[in-house]
Amino acid sequence: MANTKSNKVRVLIVDDSAFMCKVLENIFNADSQLQVAGHAKDGREAVALAESLKPDVITMDINMPHMDGLQATAQIMTTNPRPIVIVSSESREGASSTLKSLELGAIEFVAKPSGAIDLDMQSVREELLRKVKMAAKVRVVRTASRLAATLQSGSSAHAPGARPAPAAPRASGNLE
């Protein structure tokens, strides 16, 4: 899936914090296998850039203005599917927003630490890099449009095909 010209995994960073975008960009660009393709400051911009840049992986925050990360994930997965890794302070195992993002088509999540962002993001650096690289290997499928309506209805029904192809590992350690 990586861009064949550079053989690097192209990452679109979606976060309303300019500082967090810079921290993530530094982490990704320091890795020889990754390249930041662009930045989006909200979900609307993420949807547009996912279409125009066609990144290999998208990192998505949840709480953003205009269109949040859940709405953007739903729209991207119904119109222009890309592997999405949720990177948010709300991303805790079992958190409702994390479960909703996975239901909508995101394939993995990384919890932003709650302390000093730059130092704490370095503590999850390896997990983040591993999950983004794993996500680039996953073949995603278009989700059913009724699944995108889940955000408005609050329903937790799953649509067929809402997950990555069955052969694609979901667990974080399967590809190592």
Residues of the chain with pLDDT under 50: 1-4, 146, 148, 155-176
Predicted confidence at residue 140, as pLDDT, reads 83
Predicted confidence at residue 96, as pLDDT, reads 87
Predicted confidence at residue 68, as pLDDT, reads 95
Predicted confidence at residue 141, as pLDDT, reads 73
Model pTM score:
0.77
- Rounded CA separation 37/6 (Å): 12
Predicted confidence at residue 150, as pLDDT, reads 53
Q: Which residues neighbour 106 within 8 Å (Cβ) at sequence distance 6 or greater?
A: 60, 73, 84, 85, 86
> Which fold would CATH assign to domain 9-150?
Rossmann fold (3.40.50)
- Rounded CA separation 132/60 (Å): 11
